[in-house]
Structure 1
Amino acid sequence: MARVVDLLQYLLEERGSDLLVKVGSAPCLRRNGRLERTTLDALRPEQIEALAAEILPESKAAEFQETGETDLAYSVPGLGRFRVNVYRQRGSVSLAIRRVVPGAPAIADLGVPPIVADLAAQRDGLIVVAGPAAAGKTTTASAMIDHINAANARHIVTVEDPIEVLHSDREAIVSQREVGSDTTNVADALRRISRQDADVVFVSDLPDADSVREALAVAAAGRLVIAVLNTLSATDTISWMIDRFPPHQQGSARSLLGRVLRGVVCQRLVDRADGRGRVAVVESLVGTHKVRDAIIDGGDPMLLERLMSEGEYHGMATFDQALFQLFSDEYVSLDEALERAIHPEDFRIAVQQAGLATLR
């Protein structure tokens, strides 16, 4: 009979980030962003059900029975922590397992631009760490929390679903709350932050309009809020947050967001030219006066994009500008850069004008 610990051990030995388990197919491994079929045996329905029963606590098992899916963090001594999603597909149980890298890395070790550390040094306001799924957002956000934890005597309260990276108290005190076991939902947790004497708040997701509204209110009250969102660009992030509000409230929402926004960092992972994994391409929008005014006046994406492209002095860069820098530094090949660029033809022209067309 297959055991969860055997699957987790396999994931670590193969240096994978994710393992997908479903009925009728051999488990699949994701390594450096690419999905690969393994040589493991396909599992029968009852085997996968037994695996799920092995890891699900009573509360999560009840949620799974009611909704057909649930998320949890799962720890094994000697192996580490894993994020697990248990879900049903075509009537059978499936598992998506993600390895959580132990501890929070230093910002300097991530290869991200200096603006990430600059934003983490803010005293108040809203910072959004955005990007598509599996783009390293949690890693970057955890590094920012660790940066604050190491440097400042502050109370950091996290609201996570689930808790992935464990933070020990350093200069700061860190209180980590998990949705489902420590609080009912994100919005309720944020609503009570003021009673917990928090200086910094980290939110692993803003799943609905209420949570967005409460996050803005917490930031407006003088606390630093770091939130993670699954959006594709900095401009998409601004639009997404405003669109959570009904039309008659969007004007006041833009005004509040413009007032509290300190920055958006939106990242994607691309293949390194040397074949040694992937590197983060980080688009950055900083809450300068011009950016805040643009958000308040309507958040026109074209205007925000232009302000980013012209905002190098403030640490801003569009995705293509950040990608061009990585290509210039030979971290990314020309083929990969052109495939990932938002505007590939403009990117090609910029490469030729810079005399870099021969770099691979």
Structure 2
Amino acid sequence: MDIKQIIDYVANNGISDLHLIAGKPIFIRQNGQMQAMGEAVPKEFIETSVAQMLTPIQLQTLKSDRQVDFMFSQGEHRLRGNAFFTNTGLSACFRVIMPRVPEFNTIGFPAFVEEKLVSASSGLVLVVGPTGQGKSTTLASLLQARALARPQHILTIEDPIEYLIQSHDSVVQQREIGRDVLDYEAGIIGSLREDPDVLMIGEIRNQSTMASTLTLAETGHMVMGTLHTNTAVQTITRFLDSFTPEQRPQVRSQLASNLSMIISQRLVPRANGEGRVLAFEILTMNYAIANYIRQDKIFQIPNVMQTDSSGQMILFEQSLVSLVMSKQITNEVAYEYATDKNQLKALFELNNIS
């Protein structure tokens, strides 16, 4: 058993995730589906393989914290890894990172998203969705498009760095948590003295990072980040619920004034069984939504999105219906992934989908 051969196989065969668990077969995730491969993995193999991939500092972190995030490169292949201890010993999980940042117009979003976000000079952009749904790819593609569009200073804070953004005529600086900066909050505060045009925050995890993110957006910078939420409404609610009742009026005001766009995304199985296709929800800030945020009437936002005539609002269920009508996904898959099944049913009836 050779870890290099395993990684080559995984990276060359469209496999997104690799799991090494002591005493279990190798597990892989392909097109969103988990499957076993090969014989049981000895714990010594995992320990040796992980030790080869980690720096001395990362090894110490693994010993003290019982888990560690890291990046590993082998030839042209890059993988994001997490090593952690369980009741069976050391385990490791790897996510394959595409060797090149894809062009944004190939991902599957409407053209207005790139046009709006590449030209914007300020505002808060949130890309949200569950783990493994392409959020990092979306952000990397946006940053790459901005770097190409005009010279600017792009600064990222990541844990760990995944895609390497090409600078072209721009200045691109990527900082990794634990290696280049202590934590997200320290990186955000430090960025105020580093003259960025754009700051990308790999993951907005807690209240302190949210507060720092909102403060930075208020200073007139373009700020991008990710959260593990499913819809625009859930995202706004997550922000507000992270603060005390006394703090929320100020947070509502900050969001209403600085939020530019929320992109929610999921990768759903194609009807032909060949891979997955992007489904999405897009909230583009306007006067009505800003007012509802200030008034704490978040529940009204889906109505604004559904009736908007600008063409720059798309509910998740509307995206699913479009995929069904173009025969890219089945009705059953649409219902499985819908966040509001009643709304999906109504849209099916409206479009004569049976």
TM-score, normalised via structure 2 length: 0.96
Are the aligned partners of 1:286 and 1:314 in contact in 2 as well (CA < 8 Å)?
no
Deviation per CA, 1:114-136, whole angstroms, max 9, x where unpaired? Answer: 34212333110100000011111
Q: Assess if the C-alpha contact under 8 Å between 2:118 and 2:149 holds in 1.
A: no
Query: In the alignment, which residue of structure 2 is the partner of 1:35?
Result: 34
Structure 1 residue 335 and structure 2 residue 326: aligned? no
Q: Distance in 2 between matches of 1:316 and 1:351?
A: 19
Tell me the SS of whatever aligns to 1:351: helix
Q: In 2, Cα distance between the equivalents of 1:120 and 1:229?
A: 21
Aligned-partner SS, 2:39: coil
SS of 2:59's partner is helix
Correspondence for 2:165: 167
Identity %: 27
The change in CA–CA distance for 1:304 and 1:352 in structure 2 (over 3 A counts) is closer
Counterpart CA distance in 2 for 1:152 and 1:13 is 34
**What amino acid maps onto 2:148 in structure 1?**
A
| Alignment deviations for residues 292-348 of structure 1 (CA, whole Å, 9 cap, x no partner) | 1111211x3421111121224151111101111121222222221122223334423
* Residue in 2 that maps onto 1:17: 16
Find the aligned partners of 1:13 and 1:123 in 2 and give their Cα distance: 38
What are the within-5 Å matches in structure 2 for residues 80-91 of structure 1?
80-91=77-88
Misfit runs of 4+, over 6 Å? none
- How far apart, in 2, do the equivalents of 1:325 and 1:171 lie? 38
Q: Is the 8 A contact 2:101 2:140 kept in 1?
A: yes
Query: 1:325 & 1:186 partners in 2: Cα distance?
Result: 37
What is the deviation of 1:76?
Answer: 1.2
Task: Summarize deviations over 1:163-214 as a string: whole Å, max 9, x none.
Answer: 0000121132101111110100000010011211101011110122111111
Q: Distance in 1 between matches of 2:46 and 2:101?
A: 31
Paired with 1:139 and 1:27, the residues of 2 have a C-alpha distance of 26
Cα contact 1:23–1:43 (8 A) shared by 2: yes
1:8 has 2:38 as partner: no
Matching residue of 1:246: 244
Matched, 1:144 2:107: no
Amino acid at match of 1:290: A
Aligned residue identity for 1:18: D
The DSSP-based 3-state class of the residue aligned with 1:123 is: coil
Q: 1:276 aligns with which of 274, 277, 299?
A: 274
Task: Choose which of 336, 343, 348 in structure 2 pairs with 1:351.
Answer: 348
1:289 aligns with 2:320: no
Matched, 1:311 2:308: yes
- Alpha-carbon distance change, 14 to 104 in structure 1, aligned in 2, over 3 angstroms: closer
Moved more, 171-180 or 336-345: 336-345
Mind listing any 5+ residue stretches in structure 1 that lack a counterpart?
none
Opposite residue 198 of structure 1, the aligned amino acid is: P
Q: Which amino acid aligns with 2:299?
A: M
Retained in 2: the 8 A contact 1:21–1:96? Answer: yes
The residue identity in structure 1 corresponding to 2:140 is S
Residues of 2 paired with 1:242 and 1:126: CA distance?
Answer: 15
Is the contact between residue 204 and residue 228 of structure 1 (CA under 8 Å) also seen in structure 2?
A: yes
Q: TM-score, normalised by structure 1?
A: 0.94
State how 1:65-84 maps to structure 2 within 5 Å. Answer: 65-78=63-76, 80-84=77-81
Residue 203 (structure 2) aligned to one of 196, 202, 205: 205
* Residues in 1 aligned to 2:217 and 2:143: alpha-carbon distance in whole angstroms: 16
CA contact (8 A) 2:292 2:298 kept: no
More divergent stretch after superposition (243-252 vs 122-131): 243-252
Higher mean C-alpha displacement, 248-257 vs 156-165: 248-257
**Unmatched tracts of structure 2, length 5 or more:** none
Q: Distance in 1 between matches of 2:254 and 2:344?
A: 35
Aligned to 2:169, what secondary structure does the other structure show? coil
- Do 2:100 and 2:163's aligned partners in 1 also have CA atoms closer than 8 Å? yes
Alignment length, in residue pairs?
A: 353
**Structure 1 residues 169-248: aligned runs within 5 Å:** 169-248=167-246
- Listed one character per residue, the Cα deviations across residues 268-287 of structure 1 (whole Å, up to 9, x for unaligned) are 11111232211111101111
1:150 Cα deviation from its structure 2 partner: 0.8
Task: Tell me if the contact between 2:125 and 2:260 (Cα under 8 Å) persists in the aligned partners.
Answer: yes
One-letter identity of the residue aligned with 1:101: M
The alpha-carbon deviation at position 235 of structure 1 amounts to 0.8
Q: Distance in 2 between matches of 1:214 and 1:44?
A: 44
The question of whether the paired residues in 1 share the 8 Å contact of 2:20 and 2:91 is answered with yes
